[in-house]
């Protein structure tokens, strides 16, 4: 019997995706460096989707998260040292053999700095964009207590 996975479509909307019991639900995150040409980036995305589709897998979404700084410099031997890269998140499902082929594709690509594939166990495991960078507090809430060591100025 097929189960349903809820994927976020917008901030408040979800889309139900039917998945068979033998299929694994996965999410792959990978980063590309700035020296990697745009045409090669398109070819890499096409190659990863082909690897999944040929093994009877399904791609639910591909998110382009854009250019972001890394927490630490990333060294790629023979290419250079990078402090920022372009991030992609791909949600997909397929048999276990697809994971190995997809990881091989990303491992031997010269443009990929880092990649990670994780299993989705529930809706909370799916990547969702943050609605805001700063925490939203009610006016009555405070992050820190008021400063008491200062004397008020009149």
Task: Give the pLDDT score at 1.
Answer: 46
In three-state secondary structure terms, 124 is helix
Residue 107 has pLDDT above 80, yes or no: yes
Indicate the pTM of the whole model: 0.70
Q: Give the chain's mean pLDDT.
A: 81
Burial track 83-112 (b if 16+ CB lie within 10 A, e otherwise): eebbbbbbbbbbeeebbebbeebbeebebb
């Amino acid at each position: 019997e097929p189960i349903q996975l809820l994927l976020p479509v917008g901030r408040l909307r979800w889309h139900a995706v039917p998945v068979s019991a033998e299929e694994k639900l996965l999410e792959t995150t990978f980063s590309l460096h700035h020296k990697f040409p745009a045409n090669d980036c398109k070819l890499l995305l096409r190659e990863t989707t082909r690897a999944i589709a040929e093994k009877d897998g399904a791609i639910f979404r591909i998110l382009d998260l854009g250019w972001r700084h890394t927490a630490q410099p990333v060294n790629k031997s023979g290419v250079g040292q990078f402090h920022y890269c372009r991030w992609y998140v791909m949600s997909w499902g397929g048999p276990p053999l697809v994971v190995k082929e997809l990881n091989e594709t990303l491992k031997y690509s010269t443009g990929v700095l880092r990649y990670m594939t994780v299993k989705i166990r529930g809706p909370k495991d799916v990547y969702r964009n943050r609605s805001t960078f700063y925490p939203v507090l009610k006016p009555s809430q405070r992050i820190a207590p008021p400063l008491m060591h200062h004397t008020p100025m009149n």
